[in-house]
Amino acid sequence: MIEFSHVTKDFRGTRALDDVSFTVAPGSVTGFLGPNGAGKSTALRVLTGLSRPASGSATVLGRPYADLGCPALLVGTLLDAGALHPGRTGREVLTLGAMTLGLPRSRVDEVLDLVGLTRTESRRTAGGYSLGMRQRLGIGHALLGRPRVLVLDEPANGLDPQGIRWMRELLGDLAASGCAVLLSSHLLHEVEQVADRIVMIGRGRVLADGTLDELGRGRSLEQTFLDLTADADRSAA
Ligand SMILES: Nc1ncnc2c1ncn2[C@@H]1O[C@H](COP(=O)(O)OP(=O)(O)OP(=O)(O)O)[C@@H](O)[C@H]1O
């Protein structure tokens, strides 16, 4: 379970998050949508303890991320697939992660199979990976500890059509097994396929929070997105 409660965050005069409150329940995929600069990454950074809110609180499984003890066993995160060490092989990245979490090395091969990286690919350095391969490796790293909560920032970027279908099925399976998934993305069609709830933000404020049916009322997710963000821009003008 993820809970944002009245979170506000400023950067030198810019209000990046403005009284943001929403929850993500176990067994669900929540799509976290908003235009460029809306505050999605900032919210995910606050959630994972990388950034401190000016006020309000963000908790995972009832506690701030930093108080979780060994958070990566409970919360899988992929915030920047480009942040992988370019000189390490995919296998080394996962092995180091597994060792840090006290997991058996056999978990590395399980995760490679789960994310569809071959043994040959796993022996290449991550610096030579395509964006899609980096995303798969980053998702694998997030899943090492079999977390109950998954926080993914733009995980579908760079994935080919097979990769996108794979991710859709993976997230659906994880939610079906009780995982709470928060997924930020600009790929509205994909989010429409995989998410059962949507939280939309614009200019740091929650614009909508509900199921696709509740938000759309017959409109596509894209049209709902365009309508709500245009309304937010008009109110701010
Ligand atoms: N480190 C920072 N210093 C100053 N301003 C920042 C910083 N990080 C984010 N911001 C500002 O906060 C606001 C929200 O940015 P954020 O990156 O969270 O948006 P986003 O919804 O993730 O955007 P995108 O879809 O483009 O990734 C923007 O106005 C951005 O310029």
pLDDT band at residue 54 using 50, 70 and 90 as cut-offs: very high
Give backbone dihedrals phi and psi of 122, rounded to 5 degrees, phi first.
Answer: -70, -20
Q: How far apart are CA 200 and CA 209, in angstroms?
A: 6
Q: Does the beta carbon of 39 sit less than 6 angstroms from any atom of ligand 1?
A: yes
Is this structure's pTM higher than 0.90?
A: yes
Taking residue 231's Cβ as centre, other Cβ atoms within 10 Å add up to 12
Q: Does the beta carbon of 135 sit less than 6 angstroms from any atom of ligand 1?
A: no
Q: Does the beta carbon of 80 sit less than 6 angstroms from any atom of ligand 1?
A: no
Residue 237 pLDDT > 80: no
Instruction: Quote the tokens at residue 151.
Output: 């926080």
Domain ranges across the chain: 2-82+147-236
Q: How far apart are CA 123 and CA 192, in angstroms?
A: 35
Secondary structure of residue 66 in the 3-state scheme: helix
Q: From its phi and psi, is residue 132 left (phi > 0), alpha (psi between -120 and 50) or beta?
A: alpha
Closest residue by Cα to atom 14, ligand 1, is 39
pLDDT band at residue 119 using 50, 70 and 90 as cut-offs: very high
> What CATH architecture does domain 2-82+147-236 belong to?
3-Layer(aba) Sandwich (3.40)
Q: What atom in ligand 1 is closest to the CA of residue 186?
A: 25
> Which long-range contacts (C-beta less than 8 Å, at least 24 apart) are formed by 21-26?
21/56, 21/206, 22/199, 22/206, 22/209, 24/149, 24/180, 24/181, 24/182, 24/197, 25/1, 25/180, 25/197, 26/1, 26/148, 26/178, 26/179, 26/180
pLDDT, residue 235, reads 80
What are the DSSP E strand ranges found in the chain? 2-11, 14-24, 28-33, 55-60, 75-78, 149-153, 180-184, 197-202, 205-210
What is the share, in percent, of the chain residues with pLDDT greater than 70? 99
> What tens digit of pLDDT does each residue of 2-28 get?
999 999 999 988 999 999 999 999 999
pLDDT band at residue 233 using 50, 70 and 90 as cut-offs: confident
Q: How far apart are CA 97 and CA 94, in angstroms?
A: 5
> What tens digit of pLDDT does each residue of 56-84 get?
999 999 999 999 988 889 999 999 867 77
pLDDT, residue 201, reads 96
pLDDT, residue 60, reads 96
Q: Does the beta carbon of 33 sit less than 6 angstroms from any atom of ligand 1?
A: no
Q: Can you name the residues that pair with 63 across neighbouring β-strands?
A: 60
Q: Does the beta carbon of 229 sit less than 6 angstroms from any atom of ligand 1?
A: no
Give backbone dihedrals phi and psi of 208, rounded to 5 degrees, phi first.
Answer: -160, 150
Q: Which of 166, 52, 58 is nearest to 116 (CA)?
A: 166
> What tens digit of pLDDT does each residue of 145-166 get?
999 999 999 988 888 888 899 8
pLDDT, residue 56, reads 97
